[in-house]
């Protein structure tokens, strides 16, 4: 049976990798490769999952086609970020104590069936659970939005300053303009700033601003009714005679265009 180790959804864009990359002088791709190697190593530790065992920089370098000193620089830079000695600091929070086998899953399935049968007799308990889940989901969404806003004004501003050579204050002013164009979508603006740095865009400020304006234009397209009214007006204007008194002599002009606005 193949064992598993879990990643988290924001792992590829976690800001700590940029810090480790700067400390070690290595690209983020190399940092992530070494970290994933660490996770599989720590997961395979039968005595203490989450702790590196038989770790050798030389073996890792050979496996990842890297230089030994580069691997060593990355592992040193990870201390205090994701490593505490040989222990992965976020392991207990993100990984289960153990992966359940088939027998354990069957046992849990039977338990869920019994619980479901009992819950049919107490519908009010289900309602309470649904309300609690909805509240928890709303709280999580609010926290996520706050996290992106905080990251935008810290990591985003620093990244933009590095790319453009501007001050942090000037970068924050630019971010404010982008937010107005992007309808206050902090996640979008942060993503574009990160992408510009990763892809090494030649004119990052212009590229980021254009990406945010595209969102603004996409959300301000006229409706179908507005387009129909405008097209009809243009047709009428094209057929308008030079002498306004000639309207009555034009048998084709029998169109009565009215826009009905409900207030």
**Predicted local confidence at residue 174, as pLDDT:** 94
**Predicted local confidence at residue 38, as pLDDT:** 93
CB contact at 8 A, 179 and 189: yes
pLDDT tens, residue by residue, 113-128 = 777 766 655 555 455 5
> What does the H/E/C string look like for 102-166?
HHHHHHHHHHHHHHHHHHCCCHHHHHHHHHHHHHHHHHHHHHHHHHHHHHHHHHHHHHHHHHHCC
Q: What is the largest CA-CA distance in the chain?
A: 98
Strand partners, 87: 51, 84
**Predicted local confidence at residue 101, as pLDDT:** 55
CB contact at 8 A, 247 and 241: yes
**Predicted local confidence at residue 1, as pLDDT:** 43
**Predicted local confidence at residue 221, as pLDDT:** 53
Centroid of chain to Cα 220? 24
CB contact at 8 A, 181 and 209: yes
Structure tokens given for 43: 């997961």
**Predicted local confidence at residue 104, as pLDDT:** 63
**Predicted local confidence at residue 158, as pLDDT:** 93
**Predicted local confidence at residue 222, as pLDDT:** 54
pLDDT of the chain, 263 residues: tens digit per residue:
457 888 888 888 888 999 999 999 999 999 999 999 999 998 888 888 889 989 999 999 999 999 999 999 999 999 999 999 999 988 888 787 655 555 566 677 778 777 776 665 555 545 555 555 555 555 545 556 668 888 989 999 999 999 999 999 999 999 999 999 888 889 999 999 999 888 888 899 999 999 888 876 665 555 555 556 666 666 665 555 555 555 455 555 444 545 444 54
User: Which H or E run contains 88?
Assistant: strand 87-88
CB contact at 8 A, 182 and 189: yes
**pTM for the whole thing?**
0.40
CA nearest to 168, candidates 155, 181, 186: 155
């Amino acid at each position: 049976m193949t064992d598993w180790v879990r990643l988290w959804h924001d792992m590829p864009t976690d800001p700590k990798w940029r810090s480790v990359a700067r400390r070690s002088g290595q690209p983020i791709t190399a940092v992530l490769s070494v970290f994933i190697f660490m996770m599989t190593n720590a997961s395979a530790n039968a005595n203490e999952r989450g702790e590196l065992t038989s770790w050798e920089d030389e073996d890792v370098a050979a496996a990842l086609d890297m230089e030994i000193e580069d691997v060593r620089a990355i592992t040193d830079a990870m201390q205090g970020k994701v490593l505490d000695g040989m222990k992965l600091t976020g392991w207990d929070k993100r990984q289960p104590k153990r992966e359940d086998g088939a027998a354990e899953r069957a046992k849990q399935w039977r338990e869920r069936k019994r619980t479901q049968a009992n819950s049919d007799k107490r519908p009010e308990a289900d309602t309470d659970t649904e309300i609690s889940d909805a509240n928890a989901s709303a709280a999580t969404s609010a926290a996520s939005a706050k996290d992106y806003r905080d990251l935008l004004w810290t990591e985003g501003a620093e990244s933009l300053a590095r790319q453009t050579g501007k001050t942090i204050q000037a970068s924050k002013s630019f971010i404010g303009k982008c937010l107005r164009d992007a309808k206050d979508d902090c996640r979008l603006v942060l993503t574009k700033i990160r992408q510009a740095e990763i892809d090494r865009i030649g004119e990052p400020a212009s590229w980021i601003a254009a990406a945010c304006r595209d969102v603004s234009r996409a959300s301000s397209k006229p409706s179908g009714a507005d387009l129909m009214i405008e097209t009809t007006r243009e047709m009428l204007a094209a057929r308008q005679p030079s002498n306004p008194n000639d309207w009555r002599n034009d048998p084709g002009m029998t169109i009565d265009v009215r826009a009905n606005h409900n207030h």
